[in-house]
Amino acid sequence: MSSIADKVVVITGASSGVGESTARLLAGNGAKVALGARRKDRIDALVRDINAKGGSALGFKTDVTKRGDVEALVKGAVDRHGRIDAIVNNSGIMPIAPMAALKVEEWDRMIDVNIKGLLYGVAAVLPIMQKQKLGHIINIASVAGFKVFAPGGTVYSATKFAVRALTEGLRMELKADNIRCTVISPAAVATELPEGSSEETTRKNLREFYKIAIPAESIARAIAYAIEQPADVEIGEAVIRPTALDF
C-alpha cells in the first residue's frame, strides 16, 4: 500500500490545473481528498469522477479570500474523516501587467488570493494539526518567488516571495508540533493561469513563453513525493521547471 493511501488531504484551487491534477493523482493512490474552489460545477464533476473510479473525494464551493469558506472546507474534511493529514494551499492567480498600468484592483486580488487565502488555509488547519501532533502544510509558490518576473509580474513575484517566507517561518515554528512544511515552486506549467491577464498583448506574450510548458501532473508528482515520505522526513522545497527554460 502506498503511504499516500488513506491520508486526508485538503486542496484549494482544485477546479483546474495543478490542483485538479494533484487531486486525481493523490486520490488514485488512495488519499481521501477534500477539494475547494469557486467553480463548484467543476469541483462537483471532479468529485464525481474520482468517486466513480473508486476514490474518495468531497467537494466544496470555496473562495479562499473568505476565511469562513476555507474554514468550512477544512471542517468538511474533519467532519467526514476525523482528521487532516495535509493541506495543499494551491489557489493562485497571475494577472500580469506593468506597474505603470496601475492595475491596483489586480494587485489587491493577487495579495488576497495568493497570500491571504493561503494564510486562511494555514489558520484553518493549524489548531487541528497541533492537536493531532501531526500534519503537513504544502504551499505552492513559483520560480517567480526566487526571481522577480519583471516587467509585468512584479506584484505576482512579491506574493510568491511571501509564500516562500511564510513557509520557511512556519517550518521553523511548527517543528515542535511535528508539522511538516513544504514549498513547491513551479515554472511554466500548462494550465489556465496565464489566461488570467487582462491585457491581450500580455496574454499573447505569455502564450509564447508557455510553449515549452510542462504538464500539471509534473507538479502533482512532486506534491505526492513530499506527502508520501515518512512522518520524520520533510521535503522542504522543490523547484520544478521545463528543462528548456532559462528563467
Ligand X SMILES: NC(=O)c1ccc[n+]([C@@H]2O[C@H](COP(=O)([O-])OP(=O)(O)OC[C@H]3O[C@@H](n4cnc5c(N)ncnc54)[C@H](OP(=O)(O)O)[C@@H]3O)[C@@H](O)[C@H]2O)c1
Residues in contact with ligand X by CB under 6 A are 12-19, 37-39, 62-65, 90-94, 113, 117, 140, 142, 186-189, 191-193, 216
- Give me the least distance between CB of 231 and ligand X, in Å please: 26
Alpha carbon separation from 87 to 24, 45, 140, 196 (Å, rounded):
15, 21, 11, 24
Q: What is the DSSP string of 77-128?
A: HHHHHS---EEEE---------GGG--HHHHHHHIIIIIIIHHHHHHHHHHH
Rounded Cα distance, 130 and 108, in Å? 31
Rounded Cα distance, 210 and 237, in Å? 23
- Give me the least distance between CB of 239 and ligand X, in Å please: 10
Nearer to ligand X, 142 or 182 (CB): 142
CB 56 within 8 Å of CB 32: yes
Nearer to ligand X, 63 or 85 (CB): 63
Chain Cα centroid distance, residue 218: 14
CB 135 within 8 Å of CB 74: no
Q: Which three cell numbers stand for residue 34?
A: 477534500
Nearer to ligand X, 55 or 117 (CB): 117
Q: Has 156 been annotated as catalytic? A: yes
Nearer to ligand X, 8 or 18 (CB): 18
- Give me the least distance between CB of 63 and ligand X, in Å please: 4
What are the helix (H) ranges across the chain?
17-28, 40-52, 67-81, 104-110, 118-132, 154-174, 200-209, 216-228
- Give me the least distance between CB of 46 and ligand X, in Å please: 10
CB 77 within 8 Å of CB 8: yes
Nearer to ligand X, 6 or 44 (CB): 44
Side-chain-facing half-sphere of 230: CA atoms under 13 Å? 1
- Give me the least distance between CB of 115 and ligand X, in Å please: 11
- Name the residue among 74, 163, 168 with its Cα closest to residue 126: 74
Hey, which residues are catalytic here? Answer: 156
